[in-house]
Amino acid sequence: MTFTMSIGFQFYKRRFRQYGPLIIVMFIFFMGIFYLSASPDLQHPSFRKHLALNNAINKDILKLERKVKLLESTLKKHNIPESEYMEGLLPVIYVITPTHARPQQKAELTRLKNVFLHVPALHWILVEDSEQKTGLVKHFLESGGISFTHLNVPTPKDWKLGENQPVWQKPRGVLQRNAGLDWLRSNFEPPASRAVVYFADDDNTYSTELFQEMRWTKKVSVWPVALVGGVMVERPKVTLSGKVNGWLTGWKPDRAFATDMAGFGINLDLLVNNPEAEFSLDSQKGFMESDFLEKIVKLHELEPKADMCTKVYIWHTRTEKPNMKDEEKLRKEGRPTNRNIEV
Ligand code: UDP
Ligand code: MN
């Protein structure tokens, strides 16, 4: 009996001597892993940080998912299409356009509208240079498709160009642009920063990319304008670090901001916070834009758009005056061709 017990004991003693250290090492190893994973205090600090962040984000995502579901059900309940809601998230582009009556007016406005219709969240402030709002512009705007404000203010007689006077002799559209600014200032209080203001004359050619470029303007965005100032293109000079430090222009390079009316977009807040910034009839010839911009921004603050001002998205086109020789004759005879038809 004692003999068999002693043989059994000897057997385990030998096995223990053989495998014992291995078992102990493995036991310590697994205990170590268990301890480390159970006790975050002992984990590597950067991993702990990562875990904490991950948990926080997961919680946020859950909260967001709940909010999105709530939003979806609200949109459904009120019958609002998702595209319309998305449009509501975009900063609005307020386009101020002075316009005056002449044979090609409706053609010019139609060209503009056809572009604006492709631009989401755009509000058109069309300002007639007239004593009264005209039926033509009223019908045109009310024909639908575009969000608009219709204003009018006449340019005083002394400031109107004579029939055959060259265009550079008097500034055009000044009081109309200011009327657009007044309308914005009386409708918005700061902070209204999720919006941009652009001055678009009615005869230029605008590409849709231009509006994508200007939408997120923080202060004042700038870009090249083609076919203006006697050159192919007038544009801001941009440094390698993306700062505007001057202008590439043929005409009057001494202007602080040597750009055309079509060459910049302004954050609405900047205009609301600077109520004295208006266009002036008294600006020296060709200095209207520069004088205006000097009141609200510094050169180094300008935001160059259109691929650092290397792309053209706006052309300062001018429309040829249509030949009305026979029309005038017929009008004198009391038989105008446009008696019962809006042209
Ligand atoms: N304009 C105006 N009243 C006028 C002449 C022009 O309101 O008596 C408007 C015109 O419709 C345009 C802007 O002012 O939207 C600039 O005029 P124009 O295109 O003739 O100027 P330019 O091309 O020479 O800069
Ligand atoms: Mn023009």
Residue 8 predicted with pLDDT over 70: no
Ligand 1 touching residue 99 (CB < 6 A): yes
CA angle 305, 180, 223 (to 5 degrees): 10
18 is a domain residue: yes
Range from 16-30, 104-118, 121-135, 282-296 carrying the lowest mean pLDDT: 16-30
Give residue 26's domain range.
Answer: 11-37
Ligand 1 touching residue 128 (CB < 6 A): no
329 is a domain residue: no
Looking at the structure of the chain, the number of domains it has is: 2
User: What is the 128 CA–ligand 1 centroid distance (Å)?
Assistant: 11
Domain identity same for 30 and 118: no
Q: Which ligand is nearest to the CA of 289?
A: 1
> What confidence tier does 228 reach under pLDDT thresholds 50, 70, 90?
very high
CATH number of residue 303's parent domain = 3.90.550.10
Q: Which ligand is nearest to the CA of 112?
A: 1
Domain identity same for 118 and 196: yes
Residue 116 predicted with pLDDT over 70: yes
Domain identity same for 154 and 228: yes
User: What amino acid occupies position 205?
Assistant: T
Residue 337 predicted with pLDDT over 60: yes
73 is a domain residue: no
> What confidence tier does 38 reach under pLDDT thresholds 50, 70, 90?
low
Is there a catalytic annotation at residue 289? yes
Residue nearest to atom 15 of ligand 1 (CA): 201
341 is a domain residue: no
User: What is the 78 CA–ligand 2 centroid distance (Å)?
Assistant: 44
Ligand 1 touching residue 129 (CB < 6 A): yes
Q: What is the pLDDT of residue 45?
A: 78
271 is a domain residue: yes
From 72, 289, 328, 342, active-site residue: 289
Q: Which ligand is nearest to the CA of 201?
A: 1
Ligand 1 touching residue 203 (CB < 6 A): yes
User: What is the 172 CA–ligand 1 centroid distance (Å)?
Assistant: 5
User: What is the average pLDDT score of the chain?
Assistant: 92
Does the annotation place 203 within a ligand binding site?
yes
Domain identity same for 19 and 165: no
Query: For the residues 296-308, what does the mean pLDDT come to?
Result: 98
Ligand 1 touching residue 234 (CB < 6 A): no
Residue nearest to atom 5 of ligand 1 (CA): 172
Q: To test ligand 1's pocket by mutation, which of 164, 172, 205 has the most ligand atoms within 8 angstroms of CB?
A: 172
3 is a domain residue: no
